[in-house]
Structure 1
């Protein structure tokens, strides 16, 4: 239980705007759908492509929102210098909530990694050619054949990388909840987060 001093130093405020919260859950659904359809079929990947297009649209929105959205959604609020990331990482193991206003430095680094991984996955899918004459990426004809073949390999590898990032994300949520006593899910549902007073 928080001491009176701690309670006076924190406040619950609206951090995550509705558009960002919808983006987060829609991206999670689109990625899960695209991965499931890619792994388990059907053999004709039309639905997989549609899920991939949804991911591309959501990534485009996130890029725009990171430039013009509310302050907590902007790149300037969650892209940190390496020194800041290392300093936060050295303290992150402490068994107390961080009450960080927005994404902490490790969370910000993770967001950048996820966005880059999904962008690479989407780009490789657009130009990949499995040479089955059916599941050819819509832009495969625009690049040399060797690029299309390499893109297929990249697309397969990135699927595993993204799966690993999802597992890491879930592990971080559990770590913050069970070890640090900080709920990261509810703020992404309600927009409200308990943070340090400024």
Structure 2
């Protein structure tokens, strides 16, 4: 079989992947430490929201294998993969479901955190937009979503190890270099996702971060000065 190296993962997708991994660990650590670290937990959460926003936009205008249209599996592709008959570049159908699930639960976690509070000293940047009861409810949802994230991350890492050990398919290296050694017949490099698409994705991300940080919310008026 003749093989050759082709570009599968573009640089923005790779940076997203590794930055998200680092920030998820940082969010876990700062959340567990609590205390003064909870402020950093909030900052990390906003950074994660920015990354997720970028990835969702990039899923429509990025390069070939980063697009949802390329890797979101239909029933036929999923069934073919389960029977060992699927072939292709990028995410396999089960991997695609894992990616979608992680994007969903992490987006849910980031958004609920914007309105959350810890009953002590921390309030999310958009806390002022909702009532106290709503903030408490969203805070509870934010805490409860901890375990689904842990489970999905563990499954994701486990799948990568399974492919490396049992299928001799290193999924990590292509996500570092961007390139993958494939059969000559399947060697179709990723296309698209140029500078215009990148600038558009960054602009949308910046707009979302502006809103998420509550920059549009007018600060409360200063307390009245005593008249003595």
**How would you bin the TM-score normalised by the shorter chain?**
0.7 to 0.9
Q: Distance in 2 between matches of 1:37 and 1:83?
A: 42
- Of 78, 81, 89, 1:101 maps to 89
Pairwise CA distance, 1:159: 1.7
Q: Secondary structure at the match of 1:45?
A: helix
8 Å Cα contact 1:16-1:187 kept in structure 2: yes
8 Å Cα contact 1:46-1:135 kept in structure 2: yes
Pairwise CA distance, 1:83: 3.4
Q: What TM-score results when the alignment is normalised by the length of structure 1?
A: 0.86
- 1:1-198 equivalence runs, <5 A: 7-8=1-2, 10-91=3-84, 100-132=88-120, 134-196=121-183, 197-198=185-186
8 Å Cα contact 2:31-2:37 kept in structure 1: no
Point out where structure 1 has 5 or more consecutive residues left out of the alignment.
1-6, 93-97
The root-mean-square deviation of aligned C-alpha atoms, in Å, is 1.8
Point out where structure 2 has 5 or more consecutive residues left out of the alignment.
187-228
Deviating 4+ runs (over 2 angstroms): 41-44, 89-92, 144-147, 194-198
Pairwise CA distance, 1:118: 0.6
Alignment deviations for residues 95-145 of structure 1 (CA, whole Å, 9 cap, x no partner): xxx76301111111111100011100001111112322x111111221233
Total equivalences in the alignment: 185
